[in-house]
Amino acid sequence: MSVVQTIFLQFFPASISPSLPSSIPASNNISVKFAIPCCSLASPVTVVNGNVETMPTERNEVRLGLPSKGRMATDTLDLLKDCQLSVKQVNPRQYVAEIPQISNLEVWFQRPKDIVRKLVSGDLDLGIVGLDTVSEYGQGNEDIILVHEALDFGDCRLSLAIPKYGIFENVNSLQELAQMPQWTPERPLRVVTGFTYLAPKFMKDNGLKHVTFSSADGALEAAPAMGIADAIVDLVSSGTTLKENNLKEIEGGVILESQAALVASRKSLNLRKGVLDITHEMLERMEAHLRAVGQFTVTANMRGSSAEEVAELILSQTSLSGLQGPTVSPVFGKRDGMVTADYYAIVICVPKKALYKSVQQLRAIGGSGVLISPLTYIFDEETPRWRQLLSNLGL
Ligand SMILES: Nc1ncnc2c1ncn2[C@@H]1O[C@H](COP(=O)(O)OP(=O)(O)OP(=O)(O)O)[C@@H](O)[C@H]1O
Ligand SMILES: O=P(O)(O)OC[C@H]1O[C@H](OP(=O)(O)OP(=O)(O)O)[C@H](O)[C@@H]1O
Ligand SMILES: [Mg+2]
């Protein structure tokens, strides 16, 4: 990690821009903070990697935005709980809370779209929201960084859907939809969606010309049957809502795949004290938990004349190799006054789907006293996502 130097300079507003950025080489990673005396309106600026950045609003606490309601709210709290991060909310109508395990962190409950907006405005530093919301409301803003893009809940896809009936009966791909003679400048394809940024962008990127959009917040699936629209762009998970409303997805019609993600403001990571450390801790806890989901530790006793012999036996079985090979330790006993190891205890890590097969294979090679317990965390040496985040920040 490179060193970030901080230089405090005093200056008057008129002298700010011309000389500073060019005098600082981009590779030097120098952070320059300006204190502006007698001028409460101007924000301090910082130079990171040669770029001038405005300091987000002055405050000391780090802020994490969590969904206040809707289907993501409970799952988000459950994930944090599984990471031993308990969100303490005094009462459900209060929008601020704390996580006692992480000091100086404020939790703010907000609607998902507002979490993204507030990350962009600098009113939040971190957030947990769906990737669909990040893309729709972040609109490609480079200040929003995906810290963990796969939190393993809120899985859905943003998809274009059309009726199964009428003129669409034999239309099964985006290409076929685009080539329908019905769509003209006078009578365009009418699409209803809550994704008013992503949907038009997708249609444009895919060369669909005669399209108009209207927006609605919910129950979009009713619009085609009501005659209000020809097609919809909405989230699909199980596909039940589409099916129940006689709609279908088409080939090439998936706009994006989504699940919950941990996101952060680049500015906050670069400039606000404590944000990078808190992000690191949250990322480590989340990765350790998510890696452990569905994994079990299996311990058993095996008879053998040496640890190597037992290890060889175990490694000869396809379902018993574990995360990094088996741990084999001697179990000592006393025979004829001599301390000997007739048994070896083995410990392996097995995914849930291979659990029963592993037990069968262990028994087949002489394993006994098989104990199984679920894994809570797997902490790796250093998470690739952390390295990627640092490199993304130029650190
Ligand atoms: N059917 C679904 N299955 C799984 N995840 C979904 C589904 N629908 C939405 N999501 C995920 O949950 C997030 C929140 O959706 P939800 O419907 O709770 O709120 P919203 O409709 O976006 O918010 P609001 O009601 O405040 O406008 C979505 O952005 C998406 O990531
Ligand atoms: O494929 P499915 O599993 O049927 O899920 C898809 C539905 O879920 C979401 O609606 P939600 O239930 O959030 O209601 P909303 O329209 O009020 O947001 C989405 O807008 C779809 O309507
Ligand atoms: Mg919804």
Instruction: Take atom 3 of ligand 1 and give the residue whose Cα is closest.
Output: 237
**DSSP 8-state symbol, 173:** B
Radius of gyration of the chain from its Cα atoms, rounded to whole angstroms: 28
Pair 346, 299: CB distance under 8 Å: yes
Residue 314's pLDDT is what?
86
Domains of the chain: 55-155+259-291+384-392 (3.40.190.10), 156-257 (3.40.190.10), 295-374 (3.30.70.120)
Ligand nearest to the CA of 151: 1
Q: What is the DSSP letter of 207?
A: T
Whether 239 is in the pocket of ligand 2, judged by its Cβ within 6 Å, is: yes
Q: What is the dihedral of CA 247, 251, 252, 257, to 10 degrees?
A: 70
Dist. CA 348–CA 300, nearest whole Å: 9
Comparing 11 with 42, which gets the higher pLDDT?
Answer: 42
**Which ligand has its closest atom nearest to the C-alpha of 132?**
1
The ligand 1 atom nearest the CA atom of 218? 21
pTM: 0.83
What percentage of the chain exceeds 90 in pLDDT? Answer: 64
**Atom of ligand 1 lying closest to residue 133 CA:** 29
**Terminal alpha carbon distance of the chain:** 5
Q: Residue 141's Cα: distance from chain center in Å?
A: 17
- In the sheet with 144-148, reading across from the earlier edge strand, the strands are 96-98, 105-110, 62-67, 126-130, 260-265, 144-148
> Which residues, 6 or more positions from 358, have their beta carbon under 8 angstroms from its beta carbon?
298, 317, 319, 320, 348, 350
Going from the Cα of 150 to the center of ligand 1, the distance in angstroms, rounded, reads 16
Model pLDDT for residues 27-73, shown as the tens digit of each residue: 444 444 444 443 333 445 555 555 556 656 689 999 999 999 889 99
Residue 234 Cβ < 6 Å to ligand 2 = yes
Residue 169 burial (CB count, 10 A): 11
Report the pLDDT value the prediction gives residue 17, as an integer from 0 to 100.
33
- Contact (CB, 8 A) for 125 and 273: no
369 C-beta neighbours (distance < 10 Å), count: 10
Mean of pLDDT values over 123-129: 98
Mean pLDDT computed over 364-383: 89
User: Residue 218 Cα, ligand 3 centroid: separation in angstroms?
Assistant: 7
pLDDT mean over 343-368: 89
- The one-letter amino acid code at 241 reads T
Residue 318, pLDDT score:
75
The alpha carbon of 86 and the centre of ligand 3 are apart by a number of angstroms equal to 26
Cα gap 269→257, rounded to integer Å: 26
Q: Please state the atom number of ligand 2 nearest to the C-alpha of residue 217.
A: 16
User: Residue for token digits 């037990």?
Assistant: 359
Higher pLDDT, 260 or 310: 260
pLDDT tens across 218-241, in order?
Answer: 899 999 999 999 999 999 999 999
Query: Residue 7 to residues 2, 35, 41, 46, 51: CA-CA distances in angstroms?
Result: 16, 11, 21, 10, 15
Of 81-95, 238-252, 289-303, 313-327, minimum mean pLDDT range: 313-327
391/293 Cα distance (integer angstroms): 28
3-class DSSP state for residue 95? coil
* Closest ligand by atom to 240 CA: 2
pLDDT of residue 57: 67
ipTM of the complex: 0.96
Q: Which residues line ligand 1 (CB under 6 A)?
A: 70-72, 111-112, 130, 132-133, 154-156, 217, 235, 237, 258
Of all atoms in ligand 1, which is nearest to the CA of residue 67? 14
- Residues 146-196 have pLDDT tens digits of 999 999 999 999 999 999 999 999 999 999 999 999 999 999 999 999 999
The single-letter DSSP state of residue 153 is -
Nearest to 113, CA basis, from 138, 92, 147: 138
For residue 258, report the distance from its CA to the centre of ligand 3, in Å: 13
Ligand 3 centroid, distance to 97 Cα (angstroms): 24
User: What is the CA(291)–ligand 3 centre distance, in A?
Assistant: 28
- Ligand 2 contact, 140 CB (< 6 A): no
Q: How far is the CA of 45 from the centre of ligand 1 (A)?
A: 37
Query: Ligand 3 mean position to 194 CA, how many Å?
Result: 9
Section 360-371 average pLDDT: 89
Asked if residues 154 and 258 have their Cβ atoms less than 8 Å apart, the reply is yes
Nearest ligand (C-alpha, residue 247): 2
Q: Is the pLDDT of residue 13 over 80?
A: no
Helix axes 131-138, 112-121, angle to 10 degrees: 50
Minimum mean pLDDT among 10-24, 56-70, 94-108, 299-313: which range?
10-24
